[in-house]
Structure 1
Amino acid sequence: MLRVVNRVLLGLAGLVLVCAGGAVLAAGAGLSVPSWWPYSGRDDVLLSGADRDRWRDEGWWWPAVIAALAVLVLLALWWLLAQFRRARLAEVLVDSGDGEGALLRGRALEGVLESEAQSLPGVSRAHVMLTGRRSAPEARVGLVLEPHAAPGATLKGLTEEALAHARDSAGLAVLPAEARLRATRHGARRVS
Structure 2
Amino acid sequence: MRKSIAAKALSRSYSGERTWVFLVGLLALLGGALALVVGFGLLGEFRGRRPLLDPMALGWLGGHATPARAAAIVLGILLVVFGLRGTLRSLRPEPRPDLDLDRTEGAELVVTAAAISGAVQADAEQLGGVSRARVRAVGSRTSPALRITLWLHEGTDLKGVWEDLDGRVLTRARESLGLDVLPTAVRLELDTSAAKRVR
TM-score range, shorter chain: 0.5 to 0.7
SS in 2 for 1:71: helix
Corresponding residue for residue 140 of structure 1: 147
Rounded Cα–Cα distance in structure 1 between residues aligned with 2:77 and 2:158: 53
Question: Which residue of the partner structure matches residue 118 of structure 1?
Answer: 125
Deviation at 1:94, TM superposition (A): 1.6
RMSD value, Cα:
3.3
After TM superposition, the structure 1 = structure 2 runs for residues 45-124 of structure 1, keeping only pairs within 5 Å, are 58-59=65-66, 60-84=68-92, 86-95=93-102, 102-124=109-131
Higher helix share: 2
Q: CA deviation at 1:96?
A: 7.5
Counterpart residue type for residue 139 of structure 2: G
| 1:144 Cα deviation after fit | 0.6
Rate the CA distance shift 1:64–1:134 in 2: closer, same or farther, 3 A. Answer: same
Asked whether the 8 Å contact 1:94–1:172 carries over to 2, the reply is no
1:31-79 deviation line (CA, Å, top 9, x unaligned): xxxxxxxxxxxxxxxxxxxxxxxx7972412321231122212321332
Large movers: runs of 4+ above 6 Å: none
**For residues 117 and 186 of structure 1, what CA distance do their matches in structure 2 show?**
19
Unmatched runs of 5 consecutive residues or more in structure 1:
6-54
Residue 183 of structure 1 pairs with residue 196 of structure 2:
no
Structure 1 residue 155 and structure 2 residue 162: aligned? yes
Structure 2 unmatched runs, 5+: 1-10, 18-61
Moved more, 112-121 or 86-95: 86-95
1:166 corresponds to which letter in structure 2?
A: A
Against the structure 1 CA distance between its residues 107 and 96, is the aligned structure 2 distance closer, same or farther, given a 3 Å change threshold?
same
Query: In 2 relative to 1, CA 56–126 (structure 1 residues): closer, same or farther, beyond 3 Å?
Result: farther
Deviation at 1:132? 1.1
C-alpha separation in 1, matches of 2:108 and 2:170? 21
**Matched residue SS, 1:66:** helix
- Residue equivalent to 2:33: none
Verify the 8 A CA contact 1:114 1:127 in the aligned structure 2: yes
3-state SS in 1 of match to 2:115 = helix
Q: Identity, % of aligned pairs?
A: 24
Decide whether the 8 Å contact of 2:147 with 2:184 is kept in 1. yes
Larger RCO (alpha carbons 8 Å, 6+ apart): 2
Q: Using the TM superposition, give the Cα deviation of residue 182 of structure 1 relative to its aligned residue in structure 2, in angstroms.
A: 1.2
Provide the C-alpha distance between the structure 1 equivalents of 2:182 and 2:104, rounded to a whole number of angstroms: 19
CA deviations over 1:122-149 (Å, ceiling 9, x no partner): 0011011111121221111100100021
Quote the offset at 1:156 in angstroms.
Answer: 0.8
Q: How many pairs were matched up?
A: 139
For the 8 Å contact 2:150–2:188, the answer to whether it is kept is yes
